[in-house]
Amino acid sequence: MAKIIDGKALAKKMQKAIADEVAQLQAKYGRPPGLAVLMVGDNPASAAYVKNKETACHKAGITSFGKHLPASATQAELEQIIDELNKDDRVDGILIQLPLPDHLDSVALLNRLDPDKDADGLHPNNLGRLVRGEEGLRSCTPAGVMELLAEANIEIAGKNAVVIGRSILVGKPLALMLLEENATVTIAHSRTKALAEVTRKADILIAAIGRPEFVTADMVKPDAVVIDVGINRVTDDLGKSRLVGDVDYDSIVAIASHITPVPGGVGPMTVTMLLHNTVWSYRRKFAEGGSRNQ
Q: Where are the beta strands (DSSP E) in 123-239?
A: 160-164, 184-188, 204-207, 225-228, 232-235
165 is in an annotated binding site: yes
Q: Which of 6, 53, 67, 159 is catalytic?
A: 53
Q: Where are the beta strands (DSSP E) in the chain?
A: 3-4, 34-40, 63-64, 67-69, 93-96, 160-164, 184-188, 204-207, 225-228, 232-235, 241-244, 258-259
For residue 54, the one-letter residue type is: E
Residue 53 is a catalytic residue: yes
Buried (b) or exposed (e) across 248-269, using 16+ Cβ within 10 A? bbeebbebbbbbbbbebbbbbb
167 is in an annotated binding site: yes
Residue 172 is a catalytic residue: no
Q: Which of 15, 92, 97, 118 is catalytic?
A: 97
SS3 content of the chain, % helix, strand, coil (to 5): 45, 15, 40
231 is in an annotated binding site: yes
Q: Which of 118, 120, 228, 246 is catalytic?
A: 120
Residue 89 is a catalytic residue: no
Q: What is the DSSP letter of 118?
A: B
- The residues annotated with a catalytic role in the active site are 53, 97, 120
Enumerate the known binding-site residues: 165-167, 231
Enumerate the known binding-site residues for NADP(+): 165-167, 231
